[in-house]
């Protein structure tokens, strides 16, 4: 995962010695410093780069002490980006000027000559505050886009999810390829949609491919397309997913299940953007950002020779690891209320909340199926509820057997569901779990669907 990006500060002042003194003070603290000697240079710098904090002088002309130049610059900065923290400085400080600057949006005020400790404290505070505000706004935009697309928003308040939200906000606006890993049902597709929603590519729809759900024989045609006559059933030209995603984002779900024979072709198009439709010699070029997802340990797959290491390097420029729901229990009430609202509206039932005992059951459950299992549990509870609130019995959640002595009290279906949960929790991969249970992948998928796991 990406390391912490250094905070970038822009300092605007017409005196070279002031700029140098501030640079020498702030650079040892780990900040990246840019300077400007006029309001015009400040605005030009803001057009070219993103900053975490801007420190500006209120006076730039030698014969001016009114602070009007700085106040005008402050208004222009706020008009361009109202979330950017601006700290004003002046050697001609007065209460009136300070009040006026704060009224126009300055976050704080420093009078020259400054106190080093106070100045550093202000910069640290405003850097953290500015990043938090921008993170919140980016995620709000992403969630608005998700809801407009008919999807659930990425709801999270727990400490375990903060690194995930931070990486989405930082990396989403870039073109970097992202690998999203985590157990089944943790919301990997929502993360992919959030990354796309905060990117410059959001004006085009994201294209999704379930790499684990395609037979090897159709994989190449699905991704790259084919021309008429390329094979028996190719009665017309077909556009592949990479062409459909040109200028947008391609989400490759279950990337670990890409057939070995196709991984080199996938690597080539990710590296160069070039490919040929099946049956054609014409090389096409696309501009596609790749977001992929897996519940498998790709490093182990590489070690076992089932996944190319160079392909993994191309896919995980940035890796986002989604925690399971059991590690983010603080989010369970938030998610439960969201699903309750969705399903109550869908089934036209006036259910307003949860009894305390029902909430406790939700908090105590281990959720081997993660957020997807929680969604199904709330949907069932809404359908079964006979009161205006969800009761514990409506949820239909059972305590898992933890010893062979209690298996005799369970039905055959309950035992099968229990064993499937255990295998999925242990292996975190459908193929490996199916092999351990003595089932085919398709048979295990049918049972996962039957038991809503």
E strand or H helix at 413, and its extent? helix 412-427
In whole numbers, what is the pLDDT of the chain averaged over residues? 84
Please, which residues bridge with residue 292 across strands?
A: 179, 252
Higher pLDDT, 284 or 214: 284
H helix intervals, 316-403: 332-346, 356-364, 370-384, 392-395
* Separation between Cα atoms, residue 41 and residue 389, nearest integer Å: 60
Burial letters for 260-273: b for 16+ Cβ neighbours within 10 Å, e otherwise? eebbebbbebbeee
Is the pLDDT confidence value at 24 over 50? yes
Please, which residues bridge with residue 294 across strands?
A: 181
When pLDDT is averaged across residues 231-255 and rounded to a whole number, the result is 87
pLDDT (0 to 100) of residue 260: 87
pLDDT (0 to 100) of residue 65: 59
Classify domain 8-132 by CATH number.
3.40.50.2300
How do strand 207-210 and strand 249-253 relate by DSSP bridges?
parallel
Higher pLDDT, 414 or 382: 382
Q: Where in the chain is the domain with CATH 1.10.10?
A: 404-450
Is the pLDDT confidence value at 301 over 60? yes
When pLDDT is averaged across residues 89-105 and rounded to a whole number, the result is 72
H helix intervals, 27-84: 39-48, 68-80
Taking domain 404-450, whether its CATH number is 1.10.10 is answered by yes
CA trace torsion 22, 24, 28, 30 (10° rounding): 50
pLDDT band with cut points at 50, 70 and 90 for residue 417: confident
Q: Where in the chain is the domain with CATH 1.10.8.60?
A: 325-395
Taking domain 325-395, whether its CATH number is 3.40.50.20 is answered by no
> Under DSSP, is residue 348 helix (H, G, I), strand (E, B) or coil?
coil
Is the pLDDT confidence value at 54 over 90? yes
pLDDT (0 to 100) of residue 42: 92
Q: Roughly what angle, to the nearest 10 degrees, separates helices 95-103 and 68-80?
A: 20
Q: Where in the chain is the domain with CATH 3.40.50.2300?
A: 8-132
pLDDT (0 to 100) of residue 401: 41
Residues in the chain, total: 453
At the fourth CATH level, the homologous superfamily of domain 149-321 is P-loop containing nucleotide triphosphate hydrolases (3.40.50.300)
pLDDT (0 to 100) of residue 10: 94
CB atoms within 10 A of CB 420: 21
Higher pLDDT, 347 or 427: 347
Is the pLDDT confidence value at 404 over 60? no
* Separation between Cα atoms, residue 401 and residue 416, nearest integer Å: 12
Is the pLDDT confidence value at 252 over 90? yes
pLDDT (0 to 100) of residue 145: 55
pLDDT digits (tens, 9 = 90+) for 146-159: 555 555 567 888 88
Global confidence as pTM: 0.60
Q: Residue with structure tokens 């300077």?
A: 35
List C-alpha distances in Å: 350 to 353, 376, 392, 396, 411.
10, 18, 18, 20, 34
Contact yes or no for 211/261 (Cβ under 8 A): no
Query: Please, which residues have CB within 8 angstroms of residue 133's CB and are 6 or more apart in sequence?
Result: 83
> Under DSSP, is residue 169 helix (H, G, I), strand (E, B) or coil?
helix
């Amino acid at each position: 995962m990406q390391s912490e990006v250094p905070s970038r500060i822009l300092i605007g002042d017409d005196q070279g010695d002031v700029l140098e003194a501030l640079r020498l003070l702030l650079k040892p603290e780990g900040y990246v410093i840019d300077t400007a000697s006029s309001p015009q240079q400040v605005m030009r710098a803001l057009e070219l780069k993103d900053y975490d904090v801007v420190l500006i002088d209120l006076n730039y002309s030698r014969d001016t002490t009114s602070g009007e130049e700085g106040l005008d610059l402050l208004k222009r900065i706020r008009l361009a980006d109202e979330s950017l923290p601006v700290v004003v400085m002046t050697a001609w400080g007065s209460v009136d000027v300070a009040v006026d600057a704060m009224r126009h949006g300055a976050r704080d005020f420093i009078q020259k000559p400054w106190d080093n400790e106070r100045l550093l404290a202000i910069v640290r505070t405003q850097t953290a505050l500015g990043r938090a505000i921008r993170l919140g706004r980016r995620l709000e935009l992403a969630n608005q886009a998700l809801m407009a697309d008919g999807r659930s928003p990425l709801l999270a308040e727990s400490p375990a999810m903060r690194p995930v939200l931070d990486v989405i906000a930082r990396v989403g606006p870039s073109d970097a390829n992202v690998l999203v890993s985590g157990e089944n049902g943790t919301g990997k597709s929502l993360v992919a949609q959030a990354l796309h929603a905060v990117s410059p590519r959001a004006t085009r729809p994201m294209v999704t491919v379930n790499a684990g759900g395609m037979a090897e024989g159709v994989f190449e045609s699905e991704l790259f397309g084919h021309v008429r006559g390329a094979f028996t059933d190719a009665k017309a030209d077909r556009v592949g997913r990479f062409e459909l995603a040109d200028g947008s984002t391609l989400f490759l779900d279950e990337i670990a299940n890409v057939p070995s024979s196709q991984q080199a072709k996938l690597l080539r198009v990710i590296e160069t953007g070039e490919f040929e439709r099946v049956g054609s010699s014409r090389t096409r070029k696309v501009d596609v950002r790749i977001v992929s997802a897996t519940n498998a340990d790709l490093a182990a797959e590489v070690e076992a020779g089932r996944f190319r290491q160079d392909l993994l390097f191309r896919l995980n420029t940035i890796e986002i690891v989604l925690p399971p729901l059991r590690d983010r229990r603080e989010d369970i009430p938030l998610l439960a209320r969201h699903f309750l609202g969705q399903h109550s509206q869908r089934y036209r039932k006036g259910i307003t909340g949860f009894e305390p005992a029902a909430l406790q059951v939700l908090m105590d459950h281990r959720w081997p199926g993660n957020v997807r299992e929680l969604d199904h549990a709330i949907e069932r509870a809404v359908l079964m509820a006979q009161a205006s609130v969800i009761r514990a019995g409506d949820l239909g959640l059972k305590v898992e057997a933890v010893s062979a002595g209690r298996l005799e009290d369970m039905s055959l279906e309950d035992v099968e569901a229990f064993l499937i949960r255990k295998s999925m929790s242990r292996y975190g991969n459908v193929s490996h779990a199916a092999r351990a249970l003595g089932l085919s992948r398709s048979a295990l998928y049918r049972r996962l669907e039957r038991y809503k796991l």
